[in-house]
Every structure is written in C-alpha cells, then in structure tokens.
Structure 1
Amino acid sequence: MRVKALIVLFAALAMWEMAIRLGFLSGFLFPSMVDVAYSLNKLIVSGILVNHYLASLIRVLVGFTLGSIAGVAVGVAMGYSRVVYDSTFLILTLLYSIPAVAWIPLLIVWIGLRELLPIAVVFLCSFVPLVFITLTGVRGVDRNVINVAKTLGACRWKLVTSIIIPQALPSILSGLKVEIGMAWRSCFVAEMVAMSSGLGFLAMEASSMLRVDVIIVTVTVLAASNYLFQELFERLELMITKRRGDVA
C-alpha cells in the first residue's frame, strides 16, 4: 500500500516538473522540485530551517503532551464518575465546537505575543478532543472485569491504572494519532499570526518576499513531521494490540 502511495506521489511530482519544463506552469509561481530541493538544502545548511523547526517542535511537544495528559485524565474521570460527567459534559461540549485557532485573538489579548501563546493553542487543540476520545474508550471497557476487580477488593486507583486505562489505551492511541496532526496545524497557524519564529512564521516571511519555494519547503517539513508522529503512534498501537493478543 505504501509502495503504491509513493508511486502516486512521485508520479504527481514528475507531472509537476514536466508541466514547468513544458511551460504550462509558471516557474515563478510553481517552482520546480530542483529549486525546492536547492532551497531546502540552503535553509538546512544555514541553520535557518533547523532553528525554526526546533521552535515549532518544542511548542508542539509541550502543548500536545500537557493537553494529552489533561485530556486523558479528565476523560477517565468522566467515564468513571457520573458526578464528574454531569458537571463537565456541557462546558466541554461547547468548547469542542470551537476550533483551537479561534482562540488566538483572545489569547493574544490574555497572553500577548509570547512563547506561551502557540503552546496554549496546541493545548486547547489536544485537550478537548482527547477528553471525548478517552471517554469513549473508557465506556468500552468490559464492566464485568471492573465488577470482578471490585469484588476482589481493588481500590479506585488500582481500577483506573490496572484495568480502565490499559483497556482504553488502543482508543486513546488512535486519538493521539489523529490529534498530533491537528496540533502541528494549530501551531503552524499560531506562528503565522503571532510569532517571530517557527515554521508558520518562516512561511509567512517567505510569502511576503514571494518565495514560493521556501513556502513549499515549510509545508513539506510540516507534512513530514505529522507523518512521522502518526507512524510512531501507529506502531505503538500495533505493538500494544499485538501484546494484548499474545496475552489473550
């Protein structure tokens, strides 16, 4: 399947290159892959791309990690406790309908143009969806297993850490795999609007100078990063599923 996808990708790039060579596309608006590769190499060697990428990476990792931990914790609490569910469901449902990037104008007023802003955007992007993803996973846990554990004297902490979270983990990992892409996109937009570093800022700076080749480099790096993180979570998901199958 991946071989077929690569064939399609390379075919599309070859058609792009051919259209430019034959004059069907403007080389200024649609730079050739050779020009893009040259710009990529130049940006890496100069350290510009590395510095901006690291800035984005740190923001995504911090915001996504904090948002994921908080989201999973609240999701487990909602799935386990009816009181917590009734107290938080309405407000979280309302928050879920608001795109993370819609918070940027308000966060600029509250936080200012500081490093915390894109981290907060990524946090909001990750937190609420993972609450509901985790809640769905927790509700899918076999209640008979929980009841047996309670009968054997398992405390709440033991139930959560030994039964509920492990049983809901495949669902949580599937959610993480999806939300990491949203985290990268949200960070990119926040950097475009309000930051002076990061891939989003680099893309906007390139746009102001009509450097389409650099814009393509930034979005390509963004896509590659998203793909690598999704692959990581997919491998973790497969590993856990396989281990559970072996145990069963």
Structure 2
Amino acid sequence: MDVSQRYREAWEGYWAATSDTPGDAIWDADPSVTAAPDIERLLPYADPALPVLDLGCGNGTQTRYLATRFVRAIGVDLSHAAVAHARRADPGGAAEFAQLDLVDAAAVAALHERIGDAHVYLRAVIHQSEPGARPAVAAAVATLVGKRGRAFVTEPTPASKDVLRQVAQGPDGPPEKLRRVLEHGLRPAEATEEEVRRLLGETGLTLLADGAGALVQTVHLPDGARVELPARWFVLGRT
C-alpha cells in the first residue's frame, strides 16, 4: 500500500512553501507546550533507555526535544522537504531524520528490524491522513513499538474544526499560516475520536492511559488568545 500521489504532493508542496523560521508552520509550537507535557504523560510507562521515533516529524522541532529525554531520537516524515527542513535545523545532529511512508508496511518493518523496539510519538498524524491509509498508520505504530516500546498518540477531536473556523473568521480572513494549510489541500480534524480509538484498538496494543488535551498552535484568535485545538491523547503498549 502507498499514499496517493495527491497526498504526497500536498505535503511536499506545503513544506516547500514553508520557511525555516521556527513557528512558520501552524502546529510548530515550542516543545514546552507540546512534546514536553506529552512525554511527562508517557514516561511513567516507558523505559527511557529505548529509542524514540517521532512519526510525522515535520521540521523536527519536537524530535530535537525528544533527543534530550531519550538515548536516541529519530524523526521520520513522508515529505522529503520536511526532512530537509529538520536536518537544516539540527546541524549538531542531536537527532536523526529520514523519509518514511508510514503506510509502506515493508519499509516500517525494515525500520523496526534496524533499530529494534522503540517508543513512538505520533502527534496529529491520523486525523489528516487519507481515510484508507489510517489503519496502516495505526498498524505502523504497533510494528515499531514491538514488545517493549510504548506509544504516545495525540489527535485533535472534531471540535477543532469549530476553533479553526473561528480563526478563519478574522477581519482579514484566515491567517497566512492557516491559509497555506488549506491551499495545499490538507484537511485538519477529519478523523473522529471514535475512529481513532477503534484504529488504535485494532492494532493489538493495550490502552494504558488516556485523557483530554490540546494541540497548541502558533496562531491566535482575533481576541489575541493563543489557538489550542481540543484533542485526546493515548498511551499504548503491549502488556
């Protein structure tokens, strides 16, 4: 299985149009309000001696933070342009980056064979994946976790659409960061919480913890408040 050419080109186009400036992507918030609190939820269940994989790493902001908490951090993304961004932002090589299509089961299995069981950090990937590809994305999480790893998955709920509509209704229309997402045909908050739960449950992983959360963005509402998309987070592993 592979993602569609349209989807692949949408992400290549998006990252090609995004600068190296931190926060230029709408979801590229500082790790202090993203990966840091997420990892605090994961660590009670996770062995920090295992490597961590940041799936859908984008420009690598969160991956570089993960490298400060685990012995090895690897970020992978469908987009070659995103991986190029990530490598430019990490000249010291704190983390590793590679291109990977999560629905390519053979490539995912080869990565697991190469690094062994790992923790997985999946932040807001399922919701914007093509519907037919979502089961494969969830299955990739289970493959990479193996027997000893743990997964932290966080996804926006459909209520996020209402927040994004509010953002788009500013006096000048959608802010440039949101407009760029929409212009490239990327569709936020397309998966329901029920679908995400079902997909994760079908992987064979056990739900260890979950809760309500928020995905902090780098844009603000017309009243100046920082945009936070309602989300649900899950910690999973094999018992």
TM-score with structure 1 setting the length: 0.24
Between Structure 1 and Structure 2, whose CA radius of gyration is higher? 1
The structure whose RCO (Cα within 8 Å, separation 6+) is larger is 1
TM-score with structure 2 setting the length: 0.25
Answer 1 or 2: which has greater helix percent. Answer: 1
Answer 1 or 2: which has greater strand percent. Answer: 2
